Structure formats: structure tokens, C-alpha cells
Amino acid sequence: MPEKNEIILELKEVNKSFGGLLAVNKVNLSVSKGELRALIGPNGAGKTTLLNLINGTLSVSGGHIFFKTKEITNLSPHRISHIGIARTLQITSLFSGLTVYENIWTAVQSRKKFFNPFIRAFKWQDVKEKTESMLDLTGFKDKAHLVCSELSYGDQRILEMGIALSTEPTLLLLDEPTAGLNSQESMVLVKKMRGMLSGQTIVLVEHDMGVVMELADNISVLHYGSILAEGPPDEIKENEEVKKVYLGSEHA
């Protein structure tokens, strides 16, 4: 039995500089099991960079990243995936020429160890069953045969989350799932996310404050690469400093 407040992700003094520019500056962050942590901050605050450091797309300039108690600093993205961290991107990233079914299948199949070149893929009964249950969960059962470029943009955003979930992650990193959606579509997505992602540990980068306030258990505010404030949504809403640099400027 895992403890209730078991730490899943921990960042210690993480730095990232691009040339002379310090994009992430001594960030400490700790996310517990089952928590949905939102990362907010103005453009260029280093939110996406932070996700890139966690999943190994970028290497850190300093500091340490731990997953559960294991150090995962600078592991390559495919190894991070196998450790149990999945990721969606700000700009939709799918196997766009393949069907919805094949997209999910490819993700489910990734948990296998040996890829036999002499058997037909559809002989893998367990992968097939898992793919079908993922299609159920994500609500794509009726659209499974569609090539995913035929899906609506909102559906594509959901499918990408479905792909990430199909790798059975312990931690999910979501980079602006509502990017490019209007507020109505965003609310549909949020509803969907509540269903699909319940109980999942998540780090969510998001611009839409409505979505953040609706979903987040805790919020970390990034400003010029540093954590400015941290706490539950109500607390952050009242925080004077946060208002000044972030909320104040956009939601006055």
C-alpha cells in the first residue's frame, strides 16, 4: 500500500540556461501521489522548459530530479516513458496518418519488451484488449477507424491524452491541453479530463485560469524561471505578488 502523500516527483534546485539566459532558476517542486499540480505563469516563464527537463527532452544545467525516490536527471525521453512518466505537447503530436485505433495500439504496444518481426501484430491479444479498453475510456470507440487527421481539433487533443494514458503512466505531464480551443471547447475538454484522468498524478501547464481553478489541487506560479508562489487555488487567487505579476495584468 502506497502512503497517501507519497512523493512522486521531486525537483531539487533545478537550473536550465540557454547561453546566458537563465530559463529555469533553482526550481524546487514536489508533487504527491494523486495530486493535480498546475504550473502557471506568464509567457516565457519557463513552464514548458520545466516539463522538457522532467521528461528528458532537454538536459538540466544543474540540480536533480527524482521520480519516487529514484534519480532520473537527464535520462533520455524513451527511458523516462518506461519509468512511468507520459507527456503531451502544446502543439498536438499524433501519428496523424494512422487511424485512432492504430494510434492507441502503438502506445499500448510500447510496454512490450520484445517486438517479434515474424508474427502479425494483431495476434497480440493482450495489446488488443488493452487498446479496446482505452478506446472505451477515451470515448473513441465509434471513431476508432478514422484517420486521426479527420478528427476535430478538440478530439485530437483528447486522443493525445489517450495515447499518453495508454502507456500506463504513474505521472502525466500535460502541456496546455486547451491551447487553441475556445472557452466552450475547453469546458468540454475539462469534463472529459475529469472522467479520463481521475486519480492520476498530473503536472498541468495551463494558460486558461478557469481550467486551472477548476482542476488543480495545488498551483505553482513560475515567474522568470523561479517559483514565485505555491499553494491551493484559493490561496493563489488571493496572493498579492501573484496578482501583481500575473493575474493582475491579465484578469484585471
**Residue of the chain from 43, 69, 115, 198 that contacts another protein (CB under 8 A):** 115
Applying CB under 8 A, which of residues 28, 61, 99, 226 lies at the interface with another protein? 99
Q: Which alpha helices (H) appear in the chain, and where do they start and end?
A: 47-54, 77-83, 100-109, 125-138, 153-166, 183-196, 209-215, 233-238, 240-242, 248-250
User: Does residue 111 belong to the site contacting another protein (CB under 8 A)?
Assistant: yes
Q: Of the ranges 27-35, 90-98, 176-184, 186-194, which one interacts with another protein (CB under 8 A)?
A: 90-98
Q: Does 145 bind another protein (CB under 8 A)?
A: yes
- Residues 199 and 171 sit within 8 Å (Cβ to Cβ): no
Binding piece for another protein, criterion CB under 8 A, among 62-70, 94-102, 212-220, 227-235? 94-102
Residue 201, helix vs strand vs coil: strand
Q: Which of 67, 95, 140, 246 binds another protein (CB under 8 A)?
A: 95
Q: What is the CA radius of gyration of the chain?
A: 19
**87/223 with CB nearer another protein:** 87
Distance CA 67, CA 103 (A): 27
15 or 90, CB closer to another protein?
A: 90
How far apart (Å, rounded) are the C-alpha atoms in residues 107 and 127? Answer: 10
Other residues' Cβ atoms within 10 Å of the Cβ of residue 120? 7
- Say whether residue 122 binds another protein (CB under 8 A): yes
Interacting residue ranges for another protein, rule: CB under 8 A: 55, 76-78, 81-82, 86-87, 89, 93-99, 101-102, 105-107, 109-112, 115-122, 124, 144-145, 163-164, 166-167
